[in-house]
Structure 1
Amino acid sequence: MRVRYVDDVKVLAQEEVVRLDSDRLQTLYEQLGDSGAEDVVCRAMEELAVRLSMTERLFRQDRYDEMRKAARSLTGIADQIGMNTLSRVACDVTHCIDARDPVALSATLSRLLRIGERSLTEIWDMQGVRV
């Protein structure tokens, strides 16, 4: 058997485009006022961070039923504050669990974590600039 060495390794940059529904955020501010909307958004961001971490931990522990519940809750929370991409990918994770497809689940969970991080950063940055 002949061993072949690779001289040039390429690393794919995985950048996700995140779309926030600024109209949804504007509606929250109109309905709840500045203070109320900021409270909802901050609590939602905290909960999203906790649930993203929980979803990853449950995956690593092979606890798929609980992971499905955590991913489903991400969908609702993300929808509430206009994180459409995050909501859609969390829904994709639940579909992968339902399909019992571990390869797709692993890839989709990785995407969920990337988008979750980007979404939280994006909405945090938007908080500095009133929607």
Structure 2
Amino acid sequence: MSAVEHLHQKETVLLDREQLKTLYLQLDPIGADKMVNQSLEDLAVCLAQIKKMHLGGQAEEARHEIRSLLAIARKLGMTTLARICRDALDLVGGSDGIGCQAVLARLNRVGEGSLIAVWDLQDMSV
């Protein structure tokens, strides 16, 4: 009998700190914090909606949420997440179901990691 191995996925999350710095320079610190926090909330909602819509077979709705997530990722300088969003847009609703599942799982992992990375940056001076 063979043993089942559990692979622990660890993703490297890349942030463009200059993008965040620019946001804080364009807005006052309080306004920037509000905007970033709202964007992080929206990002978490998008991740949940994408999963729900994909599981429900609502490909076009999932693609709409992925585009919203992509806009948030670009605004906050989440370069890895933005790249995976583009990959997901290519696969959702297509014929490669296994590839789509893999990319959406990665999107979720990197999305959660990106949330944590930005929260950590907010605790430090941007």
Query: Which bin holds the TM-score, normalised by the shorter protein?
Result: over 0.9
Tell me what 2:35 maps to. 40
After superposition, residues 25-36 of structure 1 pair within 5 angstroms as: 25-36=20-31
SS of the residue 2:10 aligns to: coil
Q: CA deviation at 1:100?
A: 3.2
Once residues 17 and 94 of structure 1 are traced to their aligned partners in structure 2, the CA distance between those partners, rounded to angstroms, is 21
Tell me what 1:15 maps to. 10
- When Rg is computed on C-alpha atoms for both structures, the one with the higher figure is 1
Is 2:83 aligned against 1:83? no
What letter corresponds to residue 56 of structure 1 in structure 2? Answer: K
Q: Which runs of 5+ in 1 are unaligned?
A: none
Is 2:57 aligned against 1:62? yes
What is the TM-score when the length of structure 2 is the normalising length? Answer: 0.95
Work out which structure has the larger RCO, using CA pairs closer than 8 Å and 6 or more positions apart in sequence.
2
What is the TM-score when the length of structure 1 is the normalising length? Answer: 0.92
Root-mean-square deviation (Å): 1.1
What letter corresponds to residue 24 of structure 1 in structure 2? Answer: Q
Q: CA deviation at 1:39?
A: 1.1
Q: Deviations over 1:76-110 (max 9, x none)?
A: 11100111111111111110125432111100000
Once residues 18 and 100 of structure 1 are traced to their aligned partners in structure 2, the CA distance between those partners, rounded to angstroms, is 28
Q: Which runs of 5+ in 2 are unaligned?
A: none
Tell me what 2:66 maps to. 71
Once residues 98 and 21 of structure 1 are traced to their aligned partners in structure 2, the CA distance between those partners, rounded to angstroms, is 30
